[in-house]
Amino acid sequence: MTDPFAPFPVPHHDPGRVTDLALMPTGDTPQLRADAARNRTRLLEVAACLAAKRGIANVTMDDIACGAGVGKGTVFRRFGDRTGLLVALLSHHEEQLQAAFLSGPPPLGPGASAVERLRAFGAAVIRHEHAHRDLYLAAHAEPGRRRTSPAYQFRVAHVCMLLREARADSDIELSAHTMLGYLETVLIDHLLSRRGMTLERVEAGWCDLVDRYTSRCTG
């Protein structure tokens, strides 16, 4: 129980229950009592802080319990096992991102033009997933499964909405999938760590893609 977190396992397919390591859209988390919700949030905050400092592979359930000032049994009761905690932590991060582009300040949130929001959306996803790269890389090790997750489908719906608002002259759904392909964690990590590109250059590439798909290319 004190071993480091292992890579995400591949769950057995069971049509009768959700087994994908999916990131649920905001609002789908079951309601908890106020004290239980605070306890859960505290554990996730500690896990996120430790993961940012050490990398999630070097964080144990004991570390999280100690950091939160609770017994290890509390962590297991709340999340079931280490995989359950990883799924919850990913969902926690994804919910924060979703809240920002659904109801946060412009240009990422409502109040800016569709094109401005699309540009800000890509930059936010790039920086968000880069900040939590080990978690997202582990969760997205299988691209096919990633595209069936609720979080990915939620992003597709959001990009489709903004493309429609921008009156993009293209197949909206295909364009959304193509654009999100640019934001995939594995590609961005490759560009940053293997190709030595800067975040600013990668974000500029996204903005150029947005301009092309919304017929605003000046080149």
The per-residue pLDDT for 19 is 30
Question: In terms of domains, do 118 and 48 share one?
Answer: no
Q: Say if 182 falls within a structural domain.
A: yes
Question: In terms of domains, do 110 and 209 share one?
Answer: yes
Q: Say if 93 falls within a structural domain.
A: no
Average pLDDT of the chain is 82
State pTM to two decimals: 0.73
**Nearest CA-CA partner of 21 in 90, 104, 105:** 90
Model confidence pLDDT, tens digit, residues 56-80: 788 888 999 999 888 888 888 888 8
Model confidence pLDDT, tens digit, residues 3-21: 333 333 333 333 333 333 3
Q: Say if 87 falls within a structural domain.
A: no
Higher local confidence (pLDDT), 32 or 83: 83
Return the number of other C-beta atoms located less than 10 Å from residue 66's C-beta: 15
Sign of CA dihedral 5, 20, 92, 99: positive
Q: Say if 92 falls within a structural domain.
A: no
- Determine the structural domain holding residue 43 and report its residue range: 1-10+31-82
Domains in the chain: how many in total?
Answer: 2
Return the number of other C-beta atoms located less than 10 Å from residue 149's C-beta: 20
Among 82, 115, 141, residue at a domain's last position: 82
Question: In terms of domains, do 109 and 50 share one?
Answer: no
The per-residue pLDDT for 218 is 43
Question: In terms of domains, do 43 and 127 share one?
Answer: no
Question: In terms of domains, do 108 and 189 share one?
Answer: yes
Q: Say if 25 falls within a structural domain.
A: no
Contact predicate 165/213, CB 8 Å: no
Q: Say if 121 falls within a structural domain.
A: yes
Q: Say if 15 falls within a structural domain.
A: no
Question: In terms of domains, do 118 and 203 share one?
Answer: yes
- Provide the β-strand partners of residue 110: 112
The per-residue pLDDT for 214 is 92
Instruction: Tell me the mean pLDDT in the region 35-56.
Output: 84
Model confidence pLDDT, tens digit, residues 126-154: 999 998 888 888 777 666 667 778 889 99
What confidence category does residue 119 fall into, taking pLDDT thresholds of 50, 70 and 90? very high
Question: In terms of domains, do 136 and 67 share one?
Answer: no
Q: Say if 195 falls within a structural domain.
A: yes
Question: In terms of domains, do 206 and 115 share one?
Answer: yes
**Long-range contacts from 152-159, C-beta under 8 angstroms, 24+ separation:** 152/180, 154/25, 154/98, 155/125, 155/180, 156/180, 158/101, 158/102, 158/121, 159/118, 159/121
